[in-house]
Every structure is written in C-alpha cells, then in structure tokens.
Amino acid sequence: KKKLKISGRELLSVPIQVFGLDQLQVLEMSPERESCLRYRMELLPQEIGCLRNLTCLYMDSNNLKKIPAEIGTLSHLERLTLSNNSLSSLPTEMGALQRLHSLHLANNSLTELPAPLCQLRSLTFLDVSDNKIDTIPSSIRHLEKLETLLLLFNSLESLPEDICLLRNLHTLWLGNNHLQSLPAAFGELVNLDWGYNYCSCNFEGNPLDSPPPEVCSRGPEGIRDYFLSLHRI
C-alpha cells in the first residue's frame, strides 16, 4: 500500500488513480532494469503534489522535458532520480525539498547547475554527469553535507574556490571536462582519498596543467605543497 511500481511496454502517462494514494511513500516509474520496456513520458503531472508522503520517486529513463513546480510540495522526499531524460531546467521550487539527500540528474540537457540545488542543505549525493554544464556557482558552498559529487562528461573549464569548502566530500568525479587548473585550496579537501582509492577522485580527460597530473596523484598533501611552492616563488 505504500510502495508502487508502474510499468508498461510503452508507458506514456501516469494513471490518474495513482494521485489518490495519499499514503504512498515510494513511486517507481523507471524501465532502467527492464531493457524490453521503453517509456515515453514527457511530463510529470502537476498532480504529483498530491502525494505528500512520498519519500522516494524514481523517474529515470523516460523522456521528461519538464518537472512541475508542485514537486516542491513533497516535503518528505529523500531520494529523487531523474537521470536519462530530456531536462534542460529544473523548477526553483525544488529548493524547498529540505529532506532530499540523493539527487540523480545524469544524462540530461542541463547547461548549468540550477541555483535551487544549492539550497538543499541535506543533500549528500548529487550526480549531474553527462550534461552540458560549464559553470559551477559559488553558492555550492551551502551544500555542507555533500559527500558525493559526480561531474563527469560536462563542459567545465574551471571550478569555483568555494568548492573547496565542501569538507565532507569523499567522492568527486571530474573526468572528461575542460579543466586546465584546480583552485589553490583544492588540497583542503582532505577526505578525498584518491591517493588510495582511485574512484574517489579522478581528472582523466582534462587538459590539466596546474597542478600537473603527477602532482594530483599524490593526494591532498601534494596539491597543497604545489600551490605553496608557487606562492613562495
């Protein structure tokens, strides 16, 4: 009664009866694990706001082009997956989802990290890989609980200094961007243990020259020493 999965070979819309299930906590409408299914939903209906008790909403691998403002009324939402859709923007109302701790937005058409995301103080996991994002706003510093940030396959040419304030980061994927340098305080992200766990942080596919890749491989201490040496010069 509290968990519902909707499937169909070519699912186009959400049955209207779903929005009367006001005690529903988990709603799954993603064909991700069923390769024989192809979903074609382009719009998440405004009535999604009726499901005030939702904690998890799975909408991966549809054809969503827009998320309604009513998503912001889901005050209990903790996990939202919207990867593999056609989203180019997100509603500002998403900033009201203060219980949200996991947000998946990989493989959409986003060109920037939407400002509302930087208001989500409980967020610990954010995946915006494989979009067209070219800037990260300095307001990202507000995501003080963020532990995992995946930014692979974007168009980033630089990182804001404020990203170095995310001291709880354990995993940061930056591969396949256009980064030529890192912020001088990058070595302060001491919880990134890429010197020991390759998957924690990587820079592959970037034209990085400051610091050089061989310095990055030494971990935070090597990066700190590199920038300190530049300062002494």
Q: Is 171 helix (H, G, I), strand (E, B) or coil?
A: strand
Cβ-Cβ contacts under 8 Å for 195 (sequence gap 6 or more): 217, 218, 219, 220, 222
Strand partners, 171: 148
The verdict on 140 and 96 lying in the same domain is no
Looking at the fold, whether 57 and 119 belong to one and the same domain comes out as no
Which of 70, 101, 132 lies at the terminal end of a domain, its last residue? 101
Q: Do 119 and 168 lie in a common domain? A: yes
pLDDT of 36 higher than 80: no
Residue range 174-195, pLDDT digits in tens: 999 999 999 999 988 888 866 5
Among 101, 136, 159, the domain-final residue is: 101
Residues 171 and 191 in one domain: yes
Do residues 115 and 226 both lie within one domain?
A: yes
**Closest by CA position to 189, among listed 208, 169, 215, 171:** 169
Q: Is the pLDDT score of 198 beyond 70?
A: no
Contacts of 100 (CB under 8 A, 6+ apart): 77, 78, 79, 80, 120, 122, 123
Residues contacting 233, CB < 8 A, separation 6+: none
Rounded Cα–Cα distance for residues 160 and 158 (Å): 7
- Tell me the backbone φ, ψ of residue 184, rounded to 5 degrees: -60, -30
Mean pLDDT of the 2-21 span: 86
Structurally, the chain folds into a number of domains equal to 2
Q: Is residue 197's pLDDT more than 70?
A: no
pLDDT tens string 46-90: 999 999 999 999 999 889 999 999 999 999 999 999 999 999 999
Give yes or no for a contact between 190 and 168, defined as CB atoms under 8 angstroms apart. Answer: no
Q: Which of 207, 209, 126, 214 is nearest to 172 (CA)?
A: 126
Q: Could you say which of 101, 121, 146 is where a domain stops?
A: 101
Output the domain CATH number for residue 146: 3.80.10.10
The answer to whether residues 223 and 123 belong to one domain is yes
Same structural domain, 123 and 228: yes
Same domain, 10 and 90: yes
- What pLDDT was estimated at residue 225? 86
3-state secondary structure of 26: strand
In 4-102, which ranges are continuous DSSP H helix?
none
Give me the percent of the chain exceeding a pLDDT of 90: 61
Q: 223 and 116, same structural domain?
A: yes
Are 116 and 206 contained in the same domain? Answer: yes
pLDDT per residue as tens digits for the range 107-164 = 999 999 988 899 999 999 999 999 999 999 999 999 999 999 999 999 999 999 999 9
Claim to verify: residue 159 and residue 70 sit in the same structural domain = no
- Backbone φ, ψ for residue 60 (5° rounding): -65, 155
Q: pLDDT by residue (tens digit) across 72-83?
A: 999 999 999 999
122 and 39 inside one domain:
no
Domain hosting residue 72, numbered range: 1-101
